[in-house]
Amino acid sequence: MKRNYLYTVGVLLTIIVTIGACSKKDRDPKLIIHVQETDGIAADGARVHVWPGPNAGQSGTGSNIIDDELMDQVGITDAAGNVSFNFRYSAVLDVDVIYYKTYLDTLLNPITDTLYGNRVVKIESLRQSDETNEYNETVEVK
């Protein structure tokens, strides 16, 4: 009788540990960039380039350049000034933004200004139980 009880407890503990271990999964990072002007107005239609940068992967003595096309992405912001990128790996990335702002001068002639923004962000692939692994960053264009 005691053996059946110990056997049952052992099986239940094994099941609980197995379920607990399986609930956490690797979550690839998702980077959400919000682009805005200095006055806080969202930059609709800005071109956002997210990439590992010129010194990516370089150590003090050698060079381990990241050569993965998935880490070099370009997107255009929506009406709210947001664009999202999905990555497979952890990385430190450069975010370069170009925004062509068109407005009318006093004579109602269209004028286009080119505004730029830059930021460096760090994203990490995590092992976690919830489904999101999002990084939200704001880039201001000037």
Any idea of the CA torsion for 46, 50, 51, 56, to the nearest 10 degrees? 120
In a domain, 6, yes or no: no
Q: Facing residues of 110 across strands?
A: 104
The total domain count for the chain is 1
Residue 106 lies in a domain: yes
Residue 25 pLDDT more than 90?
no
pLDDT in tens, 104-122: 999 999 999 999 999 999 9
Q: For residue 36, what is the domain's CATH number?
A: 2.60.40.10
Q: Is residue 73 part of a domain?
A: yes
pLDDT above 50: residue 42: yes
User: What would the mean pLDDT of 66-87 be, rounded to a whole number?
Assistant: 89
CA 2 and chain centroid, separation: 54
Other beta carbons within 10 angstroms of residue 35's beta carbon come to 28
Please say if the pLDDT value at position 58 is more than 60.
Answer: no
Mean of all residue pLDDT scores within the chain: 84
